Structure 1
């Protein structure tokens, strides 16, 4: 298969592109390879042509074009565009692809798709790391030298006029890929669909990072083996590959987006987020998210949601939902006093939140009524939630609907008590903070008040220090009101009390949050049971009515 790569360069030295095409360069560092005398080595086999320029004066002619149109004078401007067409290594043996034929195809491709530009077309037959894949380099000056005929991929009139820059739009990029596919198909070469997103997208940057990392790792392992040590890691893994492997493992287990996020965080310390339908993942060693799009289509919303639904369906098939009528009978049958148990909240409250959610009532869901596909999806989700609700009831030992309602009432009362206790502590802490504030205000102006008491001309002293004395008097009055005739507390005592109340507030808030979540979970269970009971009772009445008619 042939693939197309694009590199935009801001390097004003066009001669560097010529030197790269003609002389040998290290595949990792991209630096020229020198002989023993410090001279660059010419590539063993290459084919070079120029379009709208002489290939050996490409740099000078580009500079003349830039000067003529007064363009590419700024450091931040893109000076050239570098396209690489890499053919499948199998094309050499299976389809007779040679360097001459690849060069001919590359020249025709450049003339048709980069008209009006000065271009270098060079074919290399060595490939990366001796792989042998033939590839064609096309380097064009970003400024168009000649006017051309308008083409279908051009968005603006200036895209066909001289003196304007090469504009690589999305439409143009798709067009260029399509032309590569057409070229290979017409010449009987191996080719795949370049316009379909890759399932596992490996960018060129990631590819070379993996190559460099593996090379360094092999070197390190060799040194360890010389010392008689066994290397722990033999394969280098990029950050993106770490995410792919983790997502593949978790996605095969998760049945919902929430479970998927929880497992990623718990097992691999990966943070998952969804923004406007786009999945993103945060590697433990990074501060910036990596989008699912950059990882491949297997890591985006559409594919993963399908996997979650398949896992959920398989789980329901493996663990079938108990007959709803049996659930109804078990919850509505009277319970013997000897077997009845009431769920009581423990004194030291510990709550672990489950994935239980409300069952959707299809009769009142407008979206489900409008879309049959969505209704089917909701039905599968409801089956799963019903099964989890039944399992929850059995695990927590509820023997009847009355037990469940009593547990909810008790949890609600405990949640209310915890909220009131927390509110009392917060009010006390607020009062202590006010005392600290006014005590500080009182102590800051106490010396001025003492000087006022000692002054001979109190009226003049009061006028000069009216603000400070007013603050002192108001602080003293408020402190006395709060102490209710008792001795005023010291600032040290108040700060110690504040620290104690702050710690108590944190503990009480955690307790309140846990009890509130437990209450919400019981409400979800009760709501699901009501829907299950309501549905089953309607079915029973319909069944009894049918039997009466027969």
Structure 2
């Protein structure tokens, strides 16, 4: 799944960002790797481009922008913002994601969401852990260099004006997460819901603690005179907690038993208060909250899991039951890997590579046999015996794609209206005091001349809000934000439905083409009723 991460940079040396993106750095210390002459070693592979700047003069151009607008002159100010979009490693193998494609997506993302800013966009083909996760770095100057058209996601009037600084809020980060999800859904990449808390929450600090600890154990194992078998795996405190909590959950029939077993086996105290749960390890004085471990370790999930576990306990029939064994149904274990879709049979006559390479042609033939078997298995599973039945299924699939797309469009249309309501309501609240002073001013004309911008913004927002709601009384900002949040989640849920429907329709399209290939039916021939079995 793709994730997006934000880092604020206070370093006034903008060239450090370019150096980090183009040269090799030690993943544990964060220091540059230098050769015997003291020079930085370039990265083996990267794609670097600039927006509103030359990528290799990014630093000097940002400094000129800062001087022009008299910004970023103190040490405490945020000089730049660093965003990282990391794609799922499976997207490279299953969905054909390449660094060049990721770079195009990153450039489009930066232009859309950071308009007017000088930006570096750099794609690396792999992450720190060599897992194959292609990722894109976007580094922007905190000061906007150019005026831009106002966008729906902008919260303040100055967010569209040159000379104003990049404004990062919780709502804006949620918007970026939603845009990341939308980007992946449109490309049919692997994706999870970034707007809801993670089931297993691992922070950067814990991730690097685990990496450093594992590296230390591996180094000790290499220098050990006696081979260590099996290899030792390093475990952080939170990693240990997740493991023992999961094991104890699966073996408990009540919350009281869960707490008792954790204390007796591991000396872990469990505290519950106001719907929250925390765990106190024996060598710590401060407890670790369940929400810092992930939603699967919070009070509500644990109670519901134990309740479901208690109901699901049953005796194993036949021979196993005679031995006195019992089987416990684990809801987490019931999740299976997603089924791979049926792929299109390759035409050897048009495959140039297969015609030039006999070994590759043989590989394609074996792959085609598997695709044929998958196609026939699909037909048998769905009890499809004629071409008409397959076409009927395809027609209903197309109709379902249209229905899900219509649902997405309807949600997007409402969200567009609510976004405008949200911006208008914000503008009213920010300029309300000035407008009240204007109404009570003894000389309104003079007051209006000195506060023209605030008054115009207030009146324009009020007019727009009345047109959008059709009412004179304005809805509270809290209600608009709540509806906006629900619509964002609804939009992504419906986009998931549309993406699934589209993927299923593409699979049916492949199956129909495979059936034609198997039956040696030409495209120009009319469809005939013929038993596939």
Q: TM-score, normalised by structure 2?
A: 0.55
Aligned to 1:242: 240
Aligned to 1:284: 282
For the pair 1:186 / 2:186, whether they are aligned, the reply is yes
> For the residues of structure 1 that align with 2:196 and 2:204, how far apart are their CA atoms?
18
Spell out the pairing of 1:62-461 with structure 2 (5 A cutoff). Answer: 62-224=62-224, 227-228=225-226, 230=228, 234-311=232-309, 313=311
SS of 2:63 mapped into structure 1: helix
SS of 2:282 mapped into structure 1: coil
Aligned length: 316
> For the residues of structure 1 that align with 2:309 and 2:187, how far apart are their CA atoms?
45
Aligned to 2:45: 45
SS of 1:34 mapped into structure 2: coil
RMSD of aligned C-alpha atoms? 2.7
> For the residues of structure 2 that align with 1:276 and 1:117, how far apart are their CA atoms?
45
> For the residues of structure 1 that align with 2:312 and 2:91, how far apart are their CA atoms?
44
Q: Is the 8 A contact 2:200 2:294 kept in 1?
A: yes
Q: Is the 8 A contact 2:280 2:287 kept in 1?
A: yes
Question: Following TM superposition, by how much is the alpha carbon of 1:51 offset from its aligned partner in structure 2, in angstroms?
Answer: 1.4
> For the residues of structure 1 that align with 2:73 and 2:267, how far apart are their CA atoms?
48
Larger radius of gyration: 1
Relative to structure 1, the CA distance from residue 116 to residue 253 in structure 2 (aligned partners, 3 Å threshold; closer, same or farther) is: same
Aligned to 1:360: none
SS of 1:7 mapped into structure 2: strand
Relative to structure 1, the CA distance from residue 91 to residue 310 in structure 2 (aligned partners, 3 Å threshold; closer, same or farther) is: closer
> For the residues of structure 2 that align with 1:132 and 1:104, how far apart are their CA atoms?
18
Q: Is the 8 A contact 1:27 1:129 kept in 2?
A: no
Question: Following TM superposition, by how much is the alpha carbon of 1:315 offset from its aligned partner in structure 2, in angstroms?
Answer: 8.0
SS of 2:74 mapped into structure 1: coil
Aligned to 1:358: none
SS of 2:82 mapped into structure 1: strand
Between 1 and 2, higher relative CO (CA 8 Å, sep ≥ 6) is seen in: 2
Aligned to 2:513: none
Question: Following TM superposition, by how much is the alpha carbon of 1:95 offset from its aligned partner in structure 2, in angstroms?
Answer: 3.0
Q: Is the 8 A contact 1:82 1:137 kept in 2?
A: yes
Q: Is the 8 A contact 1:26 1:32 kept in 2?
A: yes
Q: Which blocks of at least 5 consecutive residues in structure 2 are unaligned?
A: 317-533
Q: Is the 8 A contact 2:275 2:300 kept in 1?
A: no
Question: Following TM superposition, by how much is the alpha carbon of 1:232 offset from its aligned partner in structure 2, in angstroms?
Answer: 9.2
Relative to structure 1, the CA distance from residue 96 to residue 306 in structure 2 (aligned partners, 3 Å threshold; closer, same or farther) is: closer
Question: Following TM superposition, by how much is the alpha carbon of 1:304 offset from its aligned partner in structure 2, in angstroms?
Answer: 1.0
SS of 2:141 mapped into structure 1: strand
Residues 221-277 of structure 1: CA deviation (Å, up to 9, x unaligned): 2323xx337579711001110111121122234444444334333322223323432
Q: Which blocks of at least 5 consecutive residues in structure 1 are unaligned?
A: 319-550
Residues 380-404 of structure 1: CA deviation (Å, up to 9, x unaligned): xxxxxxxxxxxxxxxxxxxxxxxxx
